[in-house]
Amino acid sequence: MRFLLLVATILAGTASAQEATDTGSGAMLRGLDKLTGRAGDIEIRSGGMAQFGRIEVSMSECRYPEGDPASDAFAFLTVREAGKAEPVFRGWMVASSPALNAMDHQRYDVWVLRCTTS
């Protein structure tokens, strides 16, 4: 039963992703330093990079449902920790379901809030 629920959730996410036809000029992310409790918003342009503590976040694209950039955004992110060659995270993050494809890091957490259009 749990397997069927998981498959239904993934398919629902895929269906909403297929409806998203507009591309934003950037995204608003939120970062959390789990050690200090410091949280902060990270504004990043498509193709750009931003620093949050000891991690570097790069975003190649942010998409959202046609005509509604404040709703269910999803962004393709690459997150690297300072001094390490391999990315900590690389893939799509969905604003409405951050746990669906979450970054797994012992100190930092990053998730998508919305796309930006200007």
The pair of structure tokens assigned to 28 is 């608003």
Predicted TM-score (pTM) of the model is 0.77
**Every domain of the chain and the residues it spans:** 2-116
- The pLDDT tens digits of the residues spanning 11-51 come to 455 444 455 468 888 999 999 999 999 999 999 999 999 99
- Confirm if 116 and 28 have CB atoms less than 8 A apart: yes
pLDDT at 12: 53
Distance, in Å, from the CA atom of 92 to the CA atom of 112, rounded to the nearest integer, reads 10
Find which of 2-6, 9-13, 25-29, 68-72 is predicted with most confidence, using mean pLDDT: 25-29
pLDDT recorded at residue 44? 96
